[in-house]
Copies of this chain bind each other. A is one copy, B any other.
Amino acid sequence: MTDVAALAGVSLRTVSRVMNEDPTVSEALRAKVQDAVTQLHYKPNLTASHFRRRGGRSLVVGLLLHDVAEPFLATVHRAVQDVARAHGYDVLAASGLESPEREREAVERLIARRVEGLIITPADNDHRYLLAEQMSGTAIVFLDSPPNFLAADSVVTDNRKAAARGVRHMLDRGHRRVAYLGFGTGFGTAFYTNLNRHLGFCDALRRRRIPVTDAYVRQNLTTKLAEQATMELLTRADAPTAIFSAQPAITVGAIRALQALKQSETTALVGYDDFYGADLLVPGITVVAQDPVKVGTVAADILFRRIDGDMSPIAQHVLPSKLVQRGSGEIPLNLT
């Protein structure tokens, strides 16, 4: 910029004004500066400019996800990007939060980059470490599960109600032996969402006065383990006739087992959250699903409202899930 000023024969300040499209610059000077800019291939340095700017606004927000490649989160990411762009912000995303330590490390990194806001899908169960940052003015929104030991906005789904609804859907069709295939225990979002989906499962059974036992409950599953668990459950004497799966990865494992056992058409299956191809399977897979675009958009909207100075009380925003009937969940109990 100094070079531009020198070549154009004006002061730094004038160049700065031209670059920022300040209207109070005479046309003649503007032209001279523009000429110098093109001659020197000058490109503004956003880093330097925001660094110096009032309040040191970086025009960057951070997004912490377990994995940007996970389809649901990838769609959330895109939605956040779109909102950010509309506000003139860029988004710095980090993945790989497989442990509380990794979450903190990634957060530190983003804080060091002076992001103005942070959207977090938590991997940790204790967010007091964010207090100082929050007090220094950084907006923080939690996604998928609320923070612990910290007052901050969050955007979550009605995990419990939605799961109950999915299970009830199968109970309505005569099933009484329903399996629950769950994932994480442990930390953060995995713990929170799985817990609530499991509670919803229990709610549905209890409401129908079906004894809630752990006999049909399997936790800590992956795709592979879900396949094995399903095989094992379905080959028991008192095998479940319906399955509720808490997550797409697990649903896929269950489907593999059902196909191997040739029971896809006879065992009811409802999964939590939609996945690509679910409608192409035979039967189509019935799911209770959240809308990832909505989740990302709402979270980003709240974040930018806070960044813009919104001081309204902190809130937990609960988004509804919807039941998508495709066939697998409508399979009735077979009274042979």
State the A residues within 8 Å of B (CB).
41, 43-48, 50-51, 58, 67-71, 74-75, 77-78, 81-82, 85, 90-96, 108-109, 111-114, 132-133, 136, 252, 255-256, 259, 275-278, 280-282
Contact = CB atoms under 8 A, between A and B. Distances in A.
A281 B252 CA distance: 11
Contact of A75 (B46, B50, B69): B69
A44 B78 CA distance: 29
Contacts of A94: 81, 90
Given A51-B51, A90-B113, A68 B96 contact: no
Q: Which of A44, A111, A112, A132 has the most CB of B within 10 A?
A: A112
A71 B248 CA distance: 15
Complex copy number for this chain: 2
B114 A45 contact: yes
A282 B264 CA distance: 12
Nearest to A81: B95
A68 B78 contact: yes
Contacts of A50: 47
B111 A43 contact: yes
Nearest to A281: B280
A85 B78 contact: no
B112 A44 contact: yes
B71 A77 contact: no
Contact of A276 (B77, B256, B277): B277
A252 B280 contact: yes
A256 B280 contact: yes
Nearest to A85: B96
Nearest to A69: B78
A43 to B, nearest CB: 6
Given A78-B95, A95-B78, A114 B277 contact: no
A85 B110 CA distance: 13
Nearest to A255: B280
Nearest to A106: B85
The 5 closest A-B pairs by CB, nearest first: A277-B277, A74-B74, A69-B78, A46-B112, A276-B276
A96 B112 contact: no
Contact of A277 (B44, B82, B275): B275
Contacts of A69: 71, 74-75, 77-78
A95 B79 CA distance: 10
A92 B92 contact: yes
Contacts of A114: 45-47
A132 B39 CA distance: 12
12 contacts: A43-B108, A46-B109, A51-B51, A67-B78, A68-B78, A69-B74, A78-B95, A81-B95, A91-B92, A93-B93, A277-B277, A280-B281
Nearest to A84: B94
Contacts of A90: 92, 94, 109, 113
